Structure 1
Amino acid sequence: MNQIVAIMAGNVWKIVVSVGENIEKGQDVVILESMKMEIPIAAEASGIVKEIHVREGDFVNEGDILLEFE
């Protein structure tokens, strides 16, 4: 199972995918907010979203798992 992790600490501003959805490499899946900037997090590979580990409004640290796909 592949994982997408936070590249920096911040708040989960928006989750733009849902469980069961097909995602493509380079597609934005989560948008973090840090220091009043929006930071899009993109998929590094294509696959199907299996589990989302965060909710909008959650605080995450760098390296925290945001979602898993295969």
Structure 2
Amino acid sequence: MTKLIGYARVSTRQQSTDRQQADLLAAGVRRDDLHVDHGVSGARASRPQFDRALRALIDGDTLVITTLDRLGR
């Protein structure tokens, strides 16, 4: 069975991922399959939750993001 794996990110700890998370959940991502990085720039090589999201993917799964800039710069 294929899954939707969600990823949300904000660049500063003062920003909120609430809207991104709500959009991902509305798109069908289960809360257990949602990975969120707080205060992590898209230009950084190390994004711990993004790395976890990629490791969670298996053949046929889909990585879901709200906008392309959440993946990186």
TM-score, normalised to structure 2, is 0.29
Structure with the greater alpha carbon radius of gyration: 2
| Bigger helix fraction | 2
Q: Answer 1 or 2: which has greater strand percent.
A: 1
